[in-house]
Amino acid sequence: MQNYLSSERQDRVYLDYNATTPHAACLKNQWTSWLSIYGNPSSIHQDSRWPKTLIREARQKIARHLNCSPLEIIFNSGASEGNNSVLKSVWATFGKNRPEMLISQVEHPSVVKTAEYLTTQGAIIHWIPVNRSGQIDLNFIDQHLSDKTSLVSVMFANNETGTIFPIQQISQKAHAHGAFMHSDCVQILGKHDIQFTELQLDYATFSAHKFYSLKGTGFVYVKKTSSWIPLIHGGGQERGRRGGTENVLGIAVLHTVLDLLPEASIRIEQMKKLRDSMESRILSCLSDVSVTAIESERLGNTSSLVIAGVDGETLLMSLDLKGFSVSTGAACSSGNPEPSPVLLAMGLTRNEAQSSLRVSLGWETTEEQIVDFVNTLAEVVQKLRQLHINEKVENVSEKSK
């Protein structure tokens, strides 16, 4: 299993796979040959043939995996673009005829911020609440769906807590009111086994760099019967649905890495076993720790911890210095001192959210790494808690002087 993928930094343990994954090792063999793919896939001459073929084959491979038509796949720059495209396309199609959208409170910022922008254009967003276990309020959906709803958007699995949502059930509710159903499926590939068609989606968004491929590449599934108005107008690329010369190298890489998918079930099972053993080790060696959404169905690779008495950012930096890469929440919000909006939406207090740590495992995570991580975490947490106690004692004695 080691050496299969290319995170070659033996001095570090990478446990932030929900933010991004290392590049698959199988890419190394092909890298140099890809450098000679320079033709523009839209050209007519022979130099365009190879890139054109690669794009066509990649599209077919994705379609086979999702069990859909290749015509339902549009390549783009990733899931932020995909999410923007879907929401803005639905708004552009229906506008004030169906101005309402139902969107979960725990979506990625590329959905939340787009929805907030659409409210400035007249859209009405009903934010679907989640409970402390991360489960979505299905009654809220029933109460707010109407013939004014154009879109329901709920992610397949949350990137911070790993909570998996009942997408098929929500799709059926949306369709019963003539609304489209979108799901941000970024955290599915390589992390969860599903029959995509069972989700009954009209739109789904994916990103290549969450599955051992390059950043800046992704695709959106747009069902044949779904409306589509391009976000980026331009040349006739992607049948006029997404202007701009395709990221041929990014697509070529994804094309190759998708060949790893047949191993996914075994890898997912391995990650889940490791994640479960990591959580029980942490819970047995550290007091005042809770696993967020532990009662819910979760991605097998994700663990969101609340570690009382320590600041998440300080913990992250201490672990980083010891060679472990983890996260306090979504990577895109790093550098943002505000606690995670996802955890707050779940009803955690600001203090709890600020004491959170996200650990996400990948296909090459080993038991040895997990044991090492848990031991280091326990050591660092105990030190930080002791420092905290010492500071408090010093403050009290300063005040009593």
Closest contact distance (angstroms) between CB of 106 and ligand PLP is: 10
Closest contact distance (angstroms) between CB of 21 and ligand PLP is: 11
Q: Which is nearer to ligand PLP, 111 or 377 (CB)?
A: 111
Rounded distance between C-alpha atoms, residue 42 and residue 248, angstroms: 11
Query: Residue 332 catalytic?
Result: yes
CB burial string 127-140: b at 16+ within 10 A, e below: bbbbeebbbbeeeb
Closest contact distance (angstroms) between CB of 148 and ligand PLP is: 27
Rounded distance between C-alpha atoms, residue 147 and residue 311, angstroms: 46
Residues 74/203, Cβ–Cβ less than 8 Å: no
Q: Which residue is nearest to ligand PLP (CB)?
A: 78
Q: Which is nearer to ligand PLP, 238 or 380 (CB)?
A: 238
Quickly count: other Cβ atoms within 10 Å of residue 59's Cβ: 21
Rounded distance between C-alpha atoms, residue 372 and residue 15, angstroms: 12
Rounded distance between C-alpha atoms, residue 183 and residue 169, angstroms: 12
Q: Which is nearer to ligand PLP, 190 or 218 (CB)?
A: 218
3-state secondary structure 111-158: HHHHHHHHHCCCCEEEEECECCCCCECHHHHHHHCCCCEEEEECCCEC
Q: Which is nearer to ligand PLP, 79 or 101 (CB)?
A: 79
Closest contact distance (angstroms) between CB of 373 and ligand PLP is: 22
CB burial string 181-212: b at 16+ within 10 A, e below: bbbbbbbbbbbbeeebeebbbbbbbbbbbbbb
Identify the active-site residue in 26, 185, 285, 332: 332
Closest contact distance (angstroms) between CB of 196 and ligand PLP is: 16
Q: Which is nearer to ligand PLP, 103 or 145 (CB)?
A: 103
Applying CB under 6 A, which residues contact ligand PLP?
Answer: 78-80, 108, 110, 155, 159, 184, 186-187, 207, 218, 331-332
Rounded distance between C-alpha atoms, residue 25 and residue 36, angstroms: 20
Active site residues: 332
